[in-house]
Amino acid sequence: MFKHYVHCALLLLGTLMSSAISAQTLKADFRHRPPEMLVDSSTNQLSGPLKDIIEEAAQQLGHSIEWSVVPFARSLNSLKSGETDIVPRVIRNAEREQFVQYVGPISEQVKNIMFVTRSDGQDVKSYGDLQAMNIGVKRGTAYFDQFDQDNTLRKVVVNDDFNLARMLEAKRIDAIVVLDMGALESEFKVMNYSGYRATSYFYPNRIGNFYGMPKNHPLSAAFSQKLAEMVKNGRVTEIYSKYGLSAE
């Protein structure tokens, strides 16, 4: 009987030790991307459906997540070096495929690539009109192949919407190429600036909403399966609804 109790105790201890070893605190990067990712500038509190979804997936897999607010360009470098485990909302392209393991998508969304100018500035009616402009672009952001690979355009590369918005108002650039109109408009609102408009020309774009992990990350398959389950059982839709948003 004593041997039986000792055997059971050893099995329990082994189980607990195994759980402790397998449980991980994963490093994840965050950035202000309304409405799906929000950073409160006064409290530095993070919120949004993309945060909740991946945290719930991690919890169900026995892991936790430690968040850091990081510019997206640095997040890409961290994915390449393996310094971070998860980055929400990484757009898929051929260059990133070499070092990013895409997890998802949790949805597909229409994200037309817009161009924004000052209200009194020149309209953009076709792609060719961009040749005459200084165009603000965000460092590390993929827009669409024709634009990304066009070295004849005068592109002014900056880190964030904060700088893009202020450079447009100051007439240091003529236009901004925009993937997330909501994020840029948030900056204009902070500035109390309304002298801007979307141009006639835009690039129609439908993208998958992926999380990025380093290539060959040991947990990427588990997260892919868990997120697929959350999509299938409607949990992703429920989380988006909590914020008054649609996953589509």
Q: Is the dihedral of CA 164, 146, 122, 195 positive or negative?
A: negative
How far apart, in whole angstroms, are the C-alpha atoms of residue 205 and residue 79? 25
**What is the model's pLDDT at position 10?**
43
Q: Which comes out higher in pLDDT, residue 135 or 94?
A: 135
Model pTM score = 0.65
- Residue 139 is classified by DSSP as T
How far apart, in whole angstroms, are the C-alpha atoms of residue 23 and residue 34? 31
Segments making up each domain of the chain, as ranges:
25-109+207-242, 112-204
**What is the model's pLDDT at position 155?**
97
Q: Do the domains at 25-109+207-242 and 112-204 have one common CATH topology?
A: yes
**What is the model's pLDDT at position 129?**
96
How far apart, in whole angstroms, are the C-alpha atoms of residue 181 and residue 115? 9
Which CATH number does 112-204 carry? 3.40.190.10
Q: Write the pLDDT tens digit of every residue in 170-225.
A: 999 999 999 888 889 989 999 999 999 999 999 998 888 999 999 999 999 999 99
Q: What percent of the chain has pLDDT over 90?
A: 73
How far apart, in whole angstroms, are the C-alpha atoms of residue 191 and residue 183? 13
Tokens of 20: 């402790």
Q: Write the pLDDT tens digit of every residue in 57-86.
A: 999 999 999 999 999 989 999 999 999 999
CB 55 within 8 A of CB 68: no
Q: Write the pLDDT tens digit of every residue in 149-169.
A: 999 999 999 988 999 999 999
pLDDT-based confidence at 22, cuts 50/70/90? confident
Which CATH number does 25-109+207-242 carry? 3.40.190.10
